Structure formats: structure tokens, C-alpha cells
Chains A and B, each alone.
Chain A
């Protein structure tokens, strides 16, 4: 109980206490009630960062989920060198985020990067990638997808390999196409696994910091500044711990809301522990 109080209750109580004070590091805290919270709706950077966080999170969940499921279906079949290729496929997961960020930063360079060179090989025009406000978030999601699609693949592959063979045999007898088999047999049965993968990805994406910070620092302008990055600036660059604490509290509420939405979706579709949907 004491440990729980020390590591969970006290930090939260202290954060809430700080959020009710105007407190810059080096100055004495002054009680201001909910003034820090009242600042939030009028803070254009904060509002923008909430939007960026939502877009970034949704894309970073949906894309790896689709691609990871496709990869799992492919790797669920037997073919030569399957184990070796699967091993290569999961390598990005093992790399250090900052190292990944440095390599991708070089690859994204509009003049000297290999990505634009590859586009030119197939006759496509160059992109500005992370160097333009309009393309920065999709480009960062590309890195996120590249790194974490293998995780989704592993989870779904585990699900697929545990499925019973009888429904597939019946489908084969009925002459179902591969798409029909996947749509009506595999997909409903792997839904619980997809839900777990989505949950893990959501938690990971919403708290993304290192990749974005190392590649764009939230730029160009504020175009890729998520709540996490803004929070970092407020608390650890501007040393405005009172306002930063208010952002933490709101950020926590947002995560709870997202997780609640996902759980609600799960209940509505009647996904359950044993798999299948009603």
C-alpha cells in the first residue's frame, strides 16, 4: 500500500497540486486555481498539438494494423526462406529510436536523401517529406509504420496459427475464395488479437516522442508538434511546471478517453476472449 501511494498516488496528487499553481522553476509557486486549465483552450499551440496527436495516433494505429495483418496472412503460409524473411521483417523493432530517427532524417533529405532518389527511379516527382508542413505527419507515420508493423504481424500471426482447421476445411469444400475465407473465417476469429494489437499501438503512438523529436523537433513551424512535444517544451525548456502539469492532467484524460473509446468499440462488436463476433 505504501509503495502504491509512493509511486502512483503521490505523483498524481502532486501533479494536480502543481497544475493549480503558477510556478516557473526558480520562482515561488503561487496558487491560481484553475487558471492554467483556462489558458489551454486559448493556447493555439496546445489546441494544434491535440489535433496533431489525434491524427498521428489514428494513422499510426490503422496503417500498421492493416499492413501487419496482411503480413501475418502471408507469413502464415509455408514458402521457402519463410523463417529468414520473417526474421528480417522484425528487425526494425529491435533498432533504437534515435538511431532510426537519424537514419530516416538523412533518407528524407529533399536534395540528398535516398527516398527521393527512389521516387525518381519510378518516375515520380520528389517529395519534401518531413520538410513541409503538409507532408510531415504522414512521413513520420511512415517511420512509425515501418518500425511497428512487425509487432502487429507477430501478434496476428500468433492468433492465426492458433485457429482451428475445421472451418477452413468446410470453406474449401464449399468453394470459398481466399478473400471470402479471410473475410468470413479468419478475420472474425483474430479480432481479439487485432484488438490487443490496436491497444498496444494506440498506447505507444499516443506517447510517441523520441522519433518525432529527433527528426523534426515538432516542425516545420509547429506542424508535427504533438502534446508530448509541447509538454516537454513547456515543462523542461520553458520550465513552466504549473502550466505543464495542467497539460499532463488533460493529456491523461485524453488517453483515458481514447482507451475508453476502444473498449466501447470492443463491447459493441462483442469481441470476446474466445474469439469470433456475434
Chain B
């Protein structure tokens, strides 16, 4: 993350632009809030427990936790656990009815429906409207539509605060494009043609790289699916990812992957990124978080050579497949208000600016992305422009169902099979025959 790292000056400027102003006291900066601030000290002396995912986002909260304690007098005991294990621990503890945490970091794209259905999280809609608890700048409208969809249940009740989002974008190697005089593709049709032109296996250069590994490949494939007019579910909750849109999308995925490096059926983001950063792939579609390693001269051979832009359009629209994290409060917590102050601080402009400028994630809040001062602290402006543009065309990248992991595994296996030449329609049908009873069992009971 070194190359994307925040400059101290930029960070302080970003912090000045925030309205979680009392926090600035700890930075030695005084300011007068424009609106009435909540009573931050109301729950001083409370200790809360936070269960966080190990990674740049969770680490950022832990790193600056003392600022939150200075601001509120609330002590935070947080644990950072690797993603898979954190999900398991959270689910097991929540199922027990007596979780050991007040605050929980959740992966929306995997857990939203599961958490909604089980009713594990506290309703924070009231807190959001309470001026003694919430800063005036924190409004529901400030979150991107994708974030709101993730955070609210089907009745519009808010159960968490949208924290960090992953939009899918197109990374492309400008040098390879220039060498073959190829234009940056705006549509998938153009992209397939460009990939075929840029493909040069004899020189070890491939036109495209991306996820082919079962499960991981779904995140890439849904970009095609959405832009070919696909919808995950009908109004009765039936899964639609074996219909004509899905088949057409899979054909394009299959064709594009023919211009990918050998072995792409086993590629996750790590292998794909290696191909791009070593200058062996001309294009890559993946989540927006990879600018820091790409622009790191110690890890990349393509520093300054990569362009960042939108995922190309399909015949039925242009969407960026979207995934995200939120932060919520356990329904059984006895310290909900104190926990809410912590969640609010986690998604504050100050912490959001730090997240963005460090390359650790992209805040769901538009006011952070659009803040000029914050933007100036981001090193790769082209990347930021691609992210901001993607936010406007964002669409959830997975169906909101409980068995989302089974869905990813089964359809993902079908997609992997198509990379060896299997027929998309046959493979998708087979996957859905296996998946439908699973969906029946878990979703419709």
C-alpha cells in the first residue's frame, strides 16, 4: 500500500473536512462545528467489544481506537480475525444468543440475508434520527444506493452502517495497448476483439486475465451477467441465473478467457494480479482495491503504465458489480448506544478519508468520495475517477439469499467447466438443478 499511502498533510486536510470534529481535538486541531453535535461523552466509562475482520479496514479501526476513546470516553476491546474464521465465529456466537461482542463487522454480499433472516442485528434506524447520538452530516442519503440496499431490510429498517465498498473496474496496460494501437474498450464486444488483438502467447503476453477459480469467478462473471440484462431473482424469489441472459454472458466470459493465460481456470485475484503487475496481461477486471500493489515499484513492473476505467457496457446496460462491508450492533448487546457511537465513528468522514487515502478501501459515503480535500490526498487520481464513476453505476454483484456461498460454488463450478470448452447452457442448467433444492430448503422456509 506504500505508493497509495496518505501524506500526513493530506490526511489532516481530509480530517478538517470532516464533521466528526471533536475527534480533531486529539490531533491538536480546534474547530467549531456548524451544527449541534451529539453528546459524545454520554457513555463515557463504558467498555465495548468489537469483532472485526483482519485486513486494512479492521486494522485502521484498531490503530486509531485511542482517538475514539479520547472523543467519547468509551473503551474499545477489539479482536481482528481472518475473514473466513471471523464469519464462522460471528455466526456461531450469534446463534448461541449470547455473542461476546457488541459490534460486528459483516460482509454484506455473503451475510446480509442470513443476518436479516435470523434477526441478529439491532435496529439503528432510531439512532440515525436521534440528534443526541448522530452527527448532522451522517444521513441515509449520503450512502450510495448499493450501500443502502445492503444496510436496510425489505421494510427499509436499517440494521448496520455501510462502511466499505468494492466496485469492479477495468485495469488495462496502456503500453501494450499503445504498442498494438488498440483503443480502450467501451463495450464487451469491443473488449473481446481487443483481447484477441493483444493476445500474443508466443511472447508470453495475454489479452485478458481474470478469475477462473470456482466461487471466486462469480465476482467477475456477474459483471457480464448484469450488463447482459440479467437479474438474479424474479419477484417470487426464483433464481434466474440459467436464463438466456446468463447463457449469453457466459459465452462472452468463455470467449474472453480464451485470451487469458494458460491455467486461468485456477486463477483467483492473486494470480490475475501477478499476470498484470508482471506486464503479462493487457486487461483485468476485478475489485477496485488493487491500485496500491499495482503502483508499488517493489512489487510491480507496470508502475505508471496501468489505466483505470469502467467495466465495459453490455447490450443491456452498464453496471459495476458491487460488494461491501458494513458495521452493526448485536441485537443482544446491552451497550447499543455506545456501540452505535463506535460504528458512527468507523464510517465518519475522518476515518473514511483515511481508508480511501491509504488504499485500504472505498467508503460508501458519497460526501467522502466527492470531497475535494480528501480526493487530493489520493495518489492515483485516474483510479479514483474510475471508482467515483463506478459508484454511479453500481449494482449488487450477488443475489441476496441465504445460501449465497452454495450458489457461488455451484454456478462457479459450471463457469470453470466452460473454460475447458463445456457448453454454457448445459453447465448452467446442471448447476441450477443442484442449486434449486438448496434454495428451496433455506430460503422458502
Query: Could you tell me which A residues sit within 8 Å of B by CB distance?
Result: 22, 24-27, 44-45, 105, 109-112, 126, 128-133, 136, 216-222, 233, 236-239
Contacts and interface: CB of A to CB of B under 8 A. Distances in A.
Interface string B407-436: 001000100110110000000000000100
Contacts of B278: 111-112
Contact of A110 (B214, B263, B420): B263
B403 A221 contact: no
Contacts, number: 92
A237 B87 CA distance: 9
Size bin of chain B's contact surface = 35 or more
Contact of A220 (B118, B266, B441): B266
Contacts of A233: 405, 409
A220 B416 contact: yes
Contacts of B416: 219-221
A237 B405 CA distance: 7
Contacts of A136: 266
Interface stretch (B39-47, B88-96, B334-342, B378-386): B88-96
Interface in B271-292: 271, 274-275, 278, 280
B189 interface: no
Contact of A44 (B94, B270, B406, B434): B434
B261 A239 contact: no
A51 to B, nearest CB: 16
B95 A25 contact: yes
Question: Which of B88, B214, B434, B445 has the most chain A CB atoms closer than 10 A to its own CB?
Answer: B214
Contacts of A222: 214, 413
B204 interface: yes
21 contacts: A24-B441, A26-B91, A26-B94, A26-B114, A109-B263, A111-B263, A112-B275, A128-B262, A129-B263, A131-B266, A131-B267, A132-B263, A132-B266, A133-B420, A136-B266, A219-B215, A220-B212, A220-B419, A221-B214, A221-B417, A222-B214
Nearest to B275: A111
Given A25-B95, A217-B215, A133 B118 contact: no
Contacts of B92: 25
Interface of B: 84, 88, 91-92, 94-95, 114, 117-118, 120, 204, 212-215, 261-268, 270-271, 274-275, 278, 280, 402-403, 405-406, 409, 413, 416-417, 419-420, 434, 441-442, 445
Q: Is the interface of B mostly helix, strand, loop or mixed?
A: helix
A32 to B, nearest CB: 11
Chain A binding surface SS class: loop
A233 B408 CA distance: 12
Given A217-B215, A220-B213, A111 B204 contact: yes
A246 to B, nearest CB: 14
Contacts of A236: 84, 88
A194 B204 CA distance: 46
A96 to B, nearest CB: 15
A250 B95 CA distance: 26
A277 B416 CA distance: 50
A133 B413 CA distance: 12
B215 A221 contact: no
Given A26-B114, A111-B204, A221-B417, A132 B265 contact: yes
Top-7 shortest CB links A-B: A131-B263, A131-B266, A110-B263, A220-B265, A26-B118, A221-B416, A128-B263
